[in-house]
Structure 1
Amino acid sequence: MRTTRTAAAALLAAAALTVTAAGCSGSGGKDAENEPSSASGGGRPAATERMTVAMVTHSGEGDTFWDIVQSGAKAAAAKDNAEFLYAAHKEGKEQAQLIDSYVDKKVDGLIVTLAKPEAVKASVARAVAAGIPVVTINSGGRYSEAYGAIGHIGQDETVAGEAVGEELTARGRKKALCVIHEQGNVSLEERCAGVRKTFRGTVENLNVEGTNMPAATSSIEAKLQSRKDIDAVVTLGAPFAAASVKARGSAGSAAEIDTFDLNAAVVGQLKAGHIGFAVDQQPYLQGYLAVDAIWLHRENLNVIGGGKPVLTGPALVTEKDVPVLEELTARGTR
């Protein structure tokens, strides 16, 4: 399933909703317990019993992608009369401990990422055994059903990578550098593997220290200096697109920079022509649908997607999509 630019435009238009996110976010493994407020437009929360939904992700500090996921989750929580709790840690062991803490709190629903599935497997199983419905989002979708989750919401990372490989081929690229900013993250590895599968040129992976942006920039710069035949750099997270643009300039390279994921900075870089294209997986939708999935299961035993993953991407966006994207990023929903 490959999303064309026409479909991407439709996705962007469909997502043009004015929603006010409730509360404030937390990161770095600390709980952020936020009382939701109603979405804009004067609506009232659902007249259902109050519930508590917790989300645990593999986000590192300062990753704006997860701010957008939380915005969607908080908007849905406000609508569904739910208290939304959030915690994150980039290391799998600590993420598992956070999941355990929410199981101990007996939350009504749990949303987790499976970037490092083996590290959190036992903790997810403990939640399922306790009767807590689990929805996985964003990463590790192929493990979701086996781990007992009621559903997975996100993009198929292999399909997304394949779409990037095809686009690089269409743009006439011959040698791509795929920058992995978190070793051991199965979703990032799947993205690069997908690029390699469909790209008619060659792909080289480069592991960088994602929590140290200056070091990551230096690693990309060194590679571009030593390999002048690299004509495309694919980053797997929005913050690393800017780092690659900087590295390209310092290395005197002419490589095109393309990236997975969006934020306001990436939209600005698309507009300025510093980036060729970006892959949008709709993080706002991932958070929103995950909370809704738990609410629907609690109230009516619904399972969205018929037990299959609910795909929120990929959609390739370019400078042509900037006018719509600028409006959405200003709202905090892209």
Structure 2
Amino acid sequence: MRLLSIPLIALTLSAILQASAIATPPAAPTDKTAAKPLRLAFITCAVDQKFFDPVKRGMNDAATALNVECDFLGTPGVDVPAQIELVKKAVADGYEGIAINIIDAKAFDDVIADTIAKGVPVVGFNVDDSASPNARLAAVSQQFEAAGRKLATLALPDVPQGAHVLLTKHDEGVSALVERSRGIQEVLKSKGITWTAVVTGNDAVAGARVVAKALRKHPEIRIILGSGQSDTEAAGRAIEASFPQQGYWAAGFDMSPKTLQLIEAGAIRFTLDQQPYAQGFYPVVQLTLNLRYGLAPASLDAGAGVIDKKNVARVKQLCEEGFR
């Protein structure tokens, strides 16, 4: 499977969008009628999480540019069977293309294959199933295990030999968090780390209490490494509220306005961003070009950009504008 970078595909997309503004469309596009835009559905878990706000912004911007209709659908939390049912319902409701957050490496295989067999193209976004067979045409997602290794490599100089480290995730059953955690532990095993793991939940405020409880139970811990957005924010909140100026620090993944504030304050040293705007924008392009012109989509690496005190002000501005 081809894997392209975001900057490379951005140049190609720019040319496509400029050309579409002046070119005559092909004689027989696959839209039902020229006046009826394609209908696309994004289907995810944790649909109301702040992380997905830039995804929705990217989705809507691409939909406007390409004259298609998009809906962002999903389950309140992590509920794989319910998410699978949403895919089936989207097909029954007449959506012509679907982007799925493939949070389980096996559970979505059948429904994706069945959907494509019915003539509805499927791509992945946010979390991909790249390690096992899956019929999805392509995906826009971070390379999670590599991102975990990157986080650990950045943290490595500040992790003492034989340290006790708290490793967090916000949910069970999300393959991305497992892969990131595996990458983190792989790099840091040379340090002889003792690991304690906790699940914080998707509410960062409540999650901060979970983190604080673990830190009180294990007073020797000074380092918290997160594997997702809300648990990374929860770690920073716990340090800020309960352990300020005591040598505690956190690092993790993704961001929110509060995470950026915590980076400015020093409670979180850095976070790795997976560019969620791109995860909303490019699946719309992939599905639209496939449906209209039969173009096979290529997978895109959403990246693992570092956000720390050096660049947080710029990122904060883009976050306020809805792009990060």
Please indicate the TM-score interval, normalised by the length of the shorter structure: 0.7 to 0.9
Relative to structure 1, the CA distance from residue 323 to residue 213 in structure 2 (aligned partners, 3 Å threshold; closer, same or farther) is closer
Q: State the 1:236 CA deviation.
A: 2.5
Q: Among 276, 279, 304, which residue is 1:286 paired with?
A: 279
Aligned to 2:41: 54
Give the greater-gyration-radius structure (CA).
2
The question of 1:277 aligning with 2:264 is answered no
- The one-letter code sitting in structure 2 at the alignment partner of 1:208 is V
Q: Secondary structure at the match of 1:294?
A: helix
Aligned to 1:64: 50
TM-score by length of 1: 0.79
Q: Among 136, 140, 147, which residue is 2:128 paired with?
A: 140
Q: How many residues align?
A: 291
Distance 1:221 1:206 in 2: 13
Task: Mark the runs of 5 or more structure 2 residues left unpaired by the alignment.
Answer: 1-5, 12-16
Aligned to 2:74: 88
Aligned to 1:189: 178
- The one-letter code sitting in structure 1 at the alignment partner of 2:312 is V
- RMSD, aligned CA: 2.6
Aligned to 2:323: 333
Q: Secondary structure at the match of 1:319?
A: coil
Q: Secondary structure at the match of 2:215?
A: helix
Distance 1:313 1:294 in 2: 21
Q: Secondary structure at the match of 1:179?
A: strand
Q: State the 1:98 CA deviation.
A: 0.6
The question of 1:260 aligning with 2:253 is answered yes
Comparing 320-329 and 153-162, the one that deviates more = 320-329
| Aligned-residue identity in percent | 22
Q: Deviations over 1:77-109 (max 9, x none)?
A: 111111101211121011011111111123121
Comparing 116-125 and 323-332, the one that deviates more = 116-125
Distance 1:296 1:257 in 2: 42
Relative to structure 1, the CA distance from residue 296 to residue 143 in structure 2 (aligned partners, 3 Å threshold; closer, same or farther) is farther
Q: State the 1:209 CA deviation.
A: 4.5
Q: Secondary structure at the match of 1:320?
A: coil
Q: Deviations over 1:21-57 (max 9, x none)?
A: xxxxxxxxxxxxxxxxxx9xxx89x977421110001
TM-score by length of 2: 0.82
Task: Mark the runs of 5 or more structure 1 residues left unpaired by the alignment.
Answer: 1-9, 16-38
Distance 1:322 1:105 in 2: 42
Q: Secondary structure at the match of 2:242?
A: helix
User: Quick check: 2:151–2:252 contact (8 Å CA) kept in 1?
Assistant: no
Relative to structure 1, the CA distance from residue 161 to residue 205 in structure 2 (aligned partners, 3 Å threshold; closer, same or farther) is farther
Aligned to 1:31: none
Aligned to 1:296: 289
Aligned to 2:3: none
Q: Secondary structure at the match of 1:153?
A: strand
